[in-house]
Amino acid sequence: MRQAIASAEVGDEQRGEDPTVNLLQERVAQLLGKESALWFPGGTMCNFVAIKVHTQPADAVIADGMAHIIRAESGGVSFSSRVLVEGIPTERGIFTPDALSQALARLKTVPSPYGPVARLLCVEQTHNFGGGTLWSLAELKAVAEAARAEGLAVHMDGARLFNACIASGVSAAQFSALVDSLWIDFTKGLGAPIGAMLAGSKEFIAQARRYKHVFGGAMRQAGIAAAGCLHALDHHVHRLAEDHANARRLADGLARIPGVRLTTPLPETNMVFFDMGGTGLSNEQVVTALAGRGVRVGQVRGLIRAVTHLDVSRSDIETTLSAVADIVSNSAPGHE
């Protein structure tokens, strides 16, 4: 990837003259079966711009209550689009047409003009805070159709779309066909340093290009970054299966340590969420102790979140399991 980056052909991305960015845009549009795709420095900006294009101020956007746009983008959609986000309560981040109609009913608590107008449904594939969970094609089709029937557009935060594709055997184009706009991230499991790509109709992308400029996302010789993303598409998609296998091995090993509780016994993709409460240690203590041993895990929803990716090997998983077991047994009563 470093070599591809170093030898990238570049031009002025703001003017649409960077050949490597242009190549990546064409490739992603084709991969996702959309008319157009647009380069972005990162995924958060893709969400902001997509929501801006789909909505008018004071509109309502519906999303799962744990969606990244609600929980982890600094409230940015209310800042940039001035929309209200109606959260659907879920366990895994995946919901049904029924839950969507309940959300719509809440928005219609009182008749127009008092209630906000619902304009957009956002789904996340895979769902980060839901546990790296997967929308099946059938689940997604059902909610997308229900949303369209209510006049809503559908946007997919596909930060980890390829994890979903590898886990389910469904192509990116099949998932993409169900939504109006979507984006993919090159900096998650794909392992590139910079870059995301938003896709949709020609008209949608033309508007997105303007807002990308408004958001300060237009770049100059971005081809150096896009070259890393092309390399990632060529070399890092199929290997996501290794990350999923590593997550399963981690979950399996953790489940054997007394007092460790997993939120789901089998991770669907590359994330493992677990709680250490039953060991007498807090999650915070374990995260700190692991960091002291060179193992970095985070805390999300009051749980520990471990994410596998291309810089985590099978032997790193074994090291992590030994470290957790060791931390737990060192804390056992009577241990000096």
What is the contact surface with ligand PLP in residues (CB under 6 A)?
42-44, 68, 124, 128, 157, 159, 185, 187, 196
40 or 204: CB nearest ligand PLP: 40
216 or 334: CB nearest ligand PLP: 216
Q: Kindly state the tokens that stand for 279.
A: 């060991």
How far apart are CB 40 and ligand PLP at their closest, in Å? 8
User: Do the Cβ atoms of 262 and 250 come closer than 8 Å?
Assistant: no
55 or 128: CB nearest ligand PLP: 128
Rounded (10°) angle between helices 240-255 and 314-330: 20
| Nearest-angstrom CA–CA distance, 229 and 226 | 5
How far apart are CB 99 and ligand PLP at their closest, in Å? 19
11 or 76: CB nearest ligand PLP: 76
**Helix boundaries (H) for 55-201:** 68-71, 76-80, 97-107, 137-149, 161-168, 172-176
How far apart are CB 44 and ligand PLP at their closest, in Å? 3
How far apart are CB 89 and ligand PLP at their closest, in Å? 18
DSSP codes, 72-89: SSTTHHHHHT--EEEEEP
User: Do the Cβ atoms of 234 and 253 come closer than 8 Å?
Assistant: no
Rounded (10°) angle between helices 283-292 and 314-330: 120
125 or 279: CB nearest ligand PLP: 125
How far apart are CB 195 and ligand PLP at their closest, in Å? 8
User: Do the Cβ atoms of 252 and 320 come closer than 8 Å?
Assistant: no
Burial of 203 (0-12, 13-18, 19+ CB in 10 A): exposed
How far apart are CB 126 and ligand PLP at their closest, in Å? 8
182 or 224: CB nearest ligand PLP: 182
How far apart are CB 227 and ligand PLP at their closest, in Å? 18
Q: Kindly state the tokens that stand for 117.
A: 């107008």
Nearest to 273 by CA among 251, 240, 249: 251
Give me the residue whose beta carbon is nearest to ligand PLP: 43
180 or 324: CB nearest ligand PLP: 180
Look-up of token digits 């990244």: 68
